[in-house]
Amino acid sequence: MQQISTLSEHAAAVMILSLLAFFTAMLLTPIYTHYAYKYKWWKKRDRTHSTSGEKLSVIAQLRIKRTIPRMAGLIMVITVAIITIALNLDRGQTWLPLAALVAGGAVGLIDDIIYISGKGGKVVGLSAKVKFVMITVIATVAALFFYYKLGYSSIYVPLYGDLSIGWLLIPLFILVVVSTSNAVNISDGIDGLAGGLLMYAFAAFGVIAMFQENYGIAGFCFTAVGALLAYVWFNIAPARFVMGDVGSFSLGTALGVVAMLTDTLVLLPIIAIVFVVEGGSSLLQISSKKLFKRKIFIAAPIHHHFEAQGWPKTKVTMRFWVIGQTAGVIGIVLALTTGFVQ
């Protein structure tokens, strides 16, 4: 009974953080919107090539013609940073995801500024290689802190237990964070899609962290959920603004770090299944075009494939949301039944 009472108290505290984040983001939104529309924070010219350098088709070029502001991810980064620093700062649980959030956001902010200025050559923005290197550097620093300062050296494997891998945890951490960050970035292509999926993923990891008694991590996750909820309110089609790379890189990087801190690496591909499929479809498309000179999908990532088949954007978003919600619930159930929660 005492344990249930303690859990309820912490759950209430976590929900307060989430509500504070929601209302803070709501208060910041009009300020952002004013300046975003006043200074036209959208691209000034159409890009002709993807970030990987490949030439875009006519259909793809038409699809990306949008005159709504980018960089709304700033609202979420600022909100989560303020709430976490003020009310939930903990060396062992929230330093790392907060640092990842801010650093990933900085990379995205640089890219967005170049993007809306119309600079960057055919790509318009940082190239994929440059962004990959920058995110990898951030992941490397985080991995070293994770291993040397926090003392992690193993991962939990269901039906086996803790698998000690020593220093190999460092490259594994880097791979997870870089992959998650890029997968989220790739998925941010339709109104409401990435924001909703991130909301469900952070909520799932937040619930798992609660049961693990990692209340700091749970608080961070639900702070992100509160900020995302405010964002999605305005990002549902037709979107008032989009998060931009500052949002996708910051939250994607933080999500990967949270998965490592909760020792739920095995559950990450399940909870974030839509992000995995989105990133995987782009990788398969690029590989097939380079190796076999042919495309697997009409367009990639896969949400554009369904668009090209005639699905309305809202239909794609809603169905992907349903998958994301279901995956989150499955992830929580597996965490509770396969030893992730002691």
Predicted pLDDT of residue 93: 97
What single-letter amino acid sits at 110?
Answer: I
CA distance 290 to 294: 8
Tracing tokens 């952002």 back to the chain, one arrives at 32
pLDDT in tens, 183-209: 999 999 999 999 999 999 999 999 999
- What DSSP designation does 154 have? E
DSSP per-residue letters across 236-303: SSSPS---HHHHHHHHHHHHHHHHHHTT-GGGHHHHTHHHHHHHHHHHHHHHHHHHHSS-SSSSSSHH
Of the candidates 212, 224, 323, the one whose C-alpha atom is nearest the C-alpha of residue 263 is 212
Q: Are 226 and 21 in contact (CB under 8 A)?
A: yes
pLDDT in tens, 98-141: 999 999 999 999 999 998 987 655 556 888 999 999 999 999 99
- What DSSP designation does 49 have? B
Predicted pLDDT of residue 7: 82
Percent of the chain at pLDDT above 70? 90
Rounded mean pLDDT of 29-45?
90
pLDDT in tens, 207-258: 999 999 999 999 999 999 999 999 999 999 999 999 999 999 999 999 999 9
Rounded mean pLDDT of 65-89?
93
pLDDT in tens, 59-71: 455 455 558 999 9
pLDDT in tens, 258-281: 999 999 999 999 999 999 999 999
Q: Are 184 and 194 in contact (CB under 8 A)?
A: yes
Q: Are 204 and 332 in contact (CB under 8 A)?
A: yes
Mean pLDDT, all residues of the chain = 92
For residue 231, which phi and psi values (nearest 5 degrees)? -65, -50
Where are the chain's structural domains?
A: 2-262
Q: Are 140 and 174 in contact (CB under 8 A)?
A: yes
Burial per residue of 260-284, b for 16 or more beta-carbon CB atoms within 10 angstroms, e otherwise = bbbbbbbbbbbbbbbbbbbbbbbbb
Residues near 266 by beta carbon (within 8 Å), at least 6 away in sequence: 155, 156, 157, 158
CB atoms within 10 A of CB 144: 13
Q: Are 210 and 198 in contact (CB under 8 A)?
A: no
What single-letter amino acid sits at 13?
Answer: A
Encoding tokens for residue 298?
Answer: 């009409």
CA distance 207 to 196: 17
Between 44 and 169, name the one with better pLDDT.
169
Where residue 45 falls among pLDDT bands split at 50, 70, 90?
A: low
Computed on alpha carbons and rounded to an integer, the radius of gyration of the chain in Å comes to 19
Where residue 52 falls among pLDDT bands split at 50, 70, 90?
A: very low
Encoding tokens for residue 66?
Answer: 């949008």
Where residue 310 falls among pLDDT bands split at 50, 70, 90?
A: very high
